[in-house]
Amino acid sequence: MSTQASSIELSSYRDQHFKGSRSDQERLLRTSTTLYVGNLSFYTTEEQIYELFSKCGDVKRIIMGLDKYKKTPCGFCFVEYPLVCCTVCMPSCISYYKHSHFFNDFIINHCMRYINGTRLDDRTVRTDWDAGFVEGRQYGRGKTGGQVRDEYRTDYDGGRGGYGKIVQQK
Ligand code: GTA
């Protein structure tokens, strides 16, 4: 079974704050059991996200993205699935980590294929491969506390606090 053949290509996003080499990040993006979910409404709840992402497999944990200062949802989250082997290697598998790429093929790929681009709270959900959650990543990195891209936004988006913060400050 080939991981590459059935995988959806990685997006161009790379975390500039990642502690490690570029190749470490690439490897983790391909093998981790975590998804980044973006373009969420600030009003979407963890329960709604849980319900949607459970369609692809048992969800282990959801980490809501929070405004760094207000500690309120700021439009993204991480969804973690448990690390399990595929049914093909399960009977004889002695190392879950060795085969973790199979997991990507079966569940993360499924999310990328079937949940990416669907609607949640009347918005288009964007899923992305993620290298894995580490403490601190749940906070927006923008100067005002939310996501960086939200500060630069020039359109009006009621589900994400109106205009982008830079426009609001003008
Ligand atoms: N896996 O697509 C993603 C993703 N995004 C967008 C954010 N995260 C993601 N993870 C995956 N895929 O843990 C994660 C981050 C972090 C958390 C919050 O979400 O790893 P953030 O959105 O506040 O900040 O992250 P991030 O991701 O570091 O910012 P981004 O969008 O890549 O921007 C990087 C730099 O580009 C900025 O510092 C800014 O100087 C510049 N920039 C971004 N957008 C604009 C713009 N519209 N105009 C001008 N410059 C811009």
The complex's ipTM?
0.93
- For ligand 1, the distance from its centroid to the CA atom of residue 128, given in whole angstroms, is 12
pLDDT at 23: 95
**Rounded to the nearest 5°, which phi and psi values hold at 164?**
-60, 155
Q: What is the C-alpha separation between 38 and 5, in angstroms, rounded?
A: 26
Q: Which atom of ligand 1 is nearest to the CA of 146?
A: 23
Q: In the predicted model, is pLDDT for residue 30 greater than 90?
A: no
Cβ(150) – ligand 1 distance below 6 Å:
no
Mean of pLDDT over the chain = 86
Residue nearest to atom 50 of ligand 1 (CA): 152
Q: Are 111 and 35 in contact (CB under 8 A)?
A: yes
Q: What integer is the mean pLDDT of 86-102?
A: 51
Percent of the residues in the chain that have a pLDDT greater than 90, as a whole number: 65
> Can you name the residues that pair with 66 across neighbouring β-strands?
73, 139
Reported confidence tier of residue 82, pLDDT bands at 50, 70, 90: confident
Per residue in 49-78, pLDDT (tens digit) is 999 999 988 899 999 999 999 999 999 999
DSSP 51: H
Q: Please tell me which residue, 156 or 107, carries the higher pLDDT value.
A: 156
Cβ(16) – ligand 1 distance below 6 Å:
yes
* Ligand 1, pocket-test mutation among 15, 19, 40, 77, most atoms within 8 A of CB: 15
- The predicted model scores a pTM of 0.89
Please report, as a single letter, which amino acid is at residue 112.
M
pLDDT at 143: 95
- For ligand 1, the distance from its centroid to the CA atom of residue 22, given in whole angstroms, is 17
Q: Which atom of ligand 1 is nearest to the CA of 18?
A: 20
Cβ(57) – ligand 1 distance below 6 Å:
no
pLDDT at 142: 96
Q: What's the chain's length in residues? A: 170
pLDDT at 8: 81
